[in-house]
Chain A
């Protein structure tokens, strides 16, 4: 991790009222002495329970740090240290709502706070919030995995009518499932990557697409349905959905046509890459930048967008589709296929125009990183050093959930 977003209390604003400590569910995450109230970076879980009750706003302070400030340091403060504007983290605020920010913090844990690619366009964030969400109308909802397979992944098109919802490839948006939870509170927001390019699912229409997988999970021997994903997958044309966002200001597509884009994903992790690929397709092949996709699924019939992907030329998209559940002996994961393309990837790792993006389930991170390491080892390159450079230059991005 290059940076950490550290939660801090402003000693100049804080009135030492103990409200935060009272409300923090994590024993010891907030502590105090006669001088200051402080947050323990090792314990704070970013649950945000302390934010609203704090009467002064002192507790709503965040700093990008390479090394968290210790409790001892914080106890000595009379004021917050100036926020260090690491040249390379400027503009990394992903959302203006803490809830969405926190989700993205977790999604980006693998990389820490990294800057956007140098040539990415400037994103707009949080034009719509929980207090005043945009109201989108469902313009279409299509299953894009083969009927009868276990994976039900949907291509959902949302129309924003006259509401402004400008997006960039790589950004996500928030869905607030209707209704209330067991405590009578509104449901927590869920984030979904936008899978259409910036000019709309249909060019120059004010619409966009999402790629949503219906989630079911087992709990005490019974199967439960994921709340938001089932709500989304069951939407009918004409339904209204409350949307917040857009979110994300770092996991963004480089605009430069000479940039190489290497995309590594599983399942719905393909969503932002469909947006980037489609963006490049619509632009036409104008630069020297390569577009390369490693995409894992159980089988071709459960791979979202299998059909449309087949129609793309190799010149536009160098694609490696990988299946983990086809007959015996052929089980293969993204990380395995990376090794088969080792020399190409090694070349790209050394190229200053290359950008690497990882998206999908959290579980894929380790395998991908191990393969990069292995490839570097075989080619006498130092992965740790390359990784640090890539992160610092905004050329390596991880968004997993």
Chain B
């Protein structure tokens, strides 16, 4: 079976909903049917804790065309129809970049790139269940039913993303692929013996501000990776990622609007109390809202940790994947160059003679550096919108993105101390000031003290505003989760 069988409509009568004519490929179907109960068992063990028997107002795709893919209903999470959905195929698509540029896209795995491709899929796939595990305790402290619903929607969609990657592994990588699929359910976020592959996915998501920051900054790494994989010359990967991106947009929304509502509540509370100094932390915290400097430190943490996810700015792995036509650049189709880059350069910030300097590097070697820059530009957009709202409420405070060399463990800057403003400092100076860069124990304790569940329909915790509009045009006091 090739992706010629990919259809717009989804077969929901099948045990595994799909638009890839699964029923016609018996071996694949059997393999996935074996994996299915293991997945459900994983969801039971490691999915959202305590809410699997509650009805949640979730969105399920009934088709992958614009009109078919947002049907809303109250369902229990374990009954969510996880399935295999590929975006509609583009006829006559050719490989958009790298040394095979212009050749027809691959419908089967090219033998020479088999292990590289498998690695890319495994790394992407591993992040999906990881974030579900990281967030599994948050239901217990949800600031509203609306937010709880958004959390669970993100969770079931991350589960579906895992399905998407597992489908590729099982269908195209035989026994190895089946083995990898199993491993996806065996690694555990934060587990010392079998951790998740990438560092940031082993950090716990301890509170709701962390969750919003994570979905804004760290899921955005996922978005950038999916965007680059959506360019892939391996067509099934491209089609999978294209559909995943539409779901990823929802995660971006949860993060951006979540932080926005936290900031808005704080600024409004300050105005109501007549507090104009955003650094008057004690007075602000007395009102049960999160002071803006703490939000800045949380931002510094999540954004810098996410920078590491892009890997080394200069990377031979990324270069090979680009040359092979497996993983492209963000918005490859909109970039005006030859898409092969043999003679091109790209400026990569580096530490030279004690200074941070942009050095022109071979553009293929700098693929990761470029993706990181694209990420930073994308992430700064939302920070700008948060600032607009703060300014509109008359508070003198501006959030800023930390310098990309700040707090790095991977890449060019892992051995140097750089402040969020981008100044290189001695290690001692850095450590002396760290409490103004990154959240302190007491910041985290304070945030933690606010994490009390708010389960009344239409009620929102003290530290966050209700959203401007509800989900699917429902009111903000809609029963997004039926707890009774």
Contacts and interface: CB of A to CB of B under 8 A. Distances in A.
Interface of A: 10, 12-13, 15-17, 19, 23, 34, 48-50, 52-53, 55-57, 60, 78, 180, 183-185
B9 A53 contact: no
B473 A57 contact: yes
Interface string B1-30: 000000111000000000000000000000
Contacts of B252: 15, 17, 55
A99 to B, nearest CB: 9
B473 A53 contact: no
B468 A13 contact: yes
17 contacts: A10-B468, A12-B389, A13-B257, A15-B249, A15-B257, A49-B66, A50-B66, A52-B69, A53-B69, A53-B246, A53-B249, A56-B253, A57-B472, A60-B473, A183-B9, A184-B9, A185-B8
A56 B66 contact: no
A211 to B, nearest CB: 30
Contacts of A56: 253, 257, 469
Interface secondary structure of B, over-half rule: helix
B256 A15 contact: yes
A20 to B, nearest CB: 9
Interface of B: 7-9, 63, 65-70, 245-246, 249-250, 252-253, 256-257, 381-382, 388-389, 392, 468-473
A52 B245 CA distance: 14
B258 to A, nearest CB: 11
A287 B245 CA distance: 63
Nearest to B247: A55
B360 to A, nearest CB: 25
Contacts of B7: 184
Given A52-B70, A185-B9, A17 B253 contact: yes
B63 A12 contact: no
Contacts of B65: 183, 185
Question: Per DSSP, are chain A's interface residues mostly helix, strand or loop, or mixed?
Answer: loop
A15 B382 contact: yes
B67 A78 contact: no
Contacts of A53: 66, 69-70, 246, 249
Given A55-B250, A180-B9, 11 more contacts: A34-B381, A49-B67, A50-B66, A52-B67, A52-B69, A53-B69, A53-B246, A53-B249, A55-B252, A184-B7, A185-B65
B346 to A, nearest CB: 21
Contact of B253 (A12, A15, A49, A180): A15
A217 B353 CA distance: 79
Contacts of A49: 66-67
B66 A52 contact: yes
B63 A185 contact: yes
Nearest to A24: B66
Contacts of A34: 381
Contact of B392 (A16, A52, A60, A78): A78
Contacts of B468: 10, 12-13
Contacts of B8: 183-185
Contacts of A48: 67
B381 A16 contact: yes
A13 B249 CA distance: 13
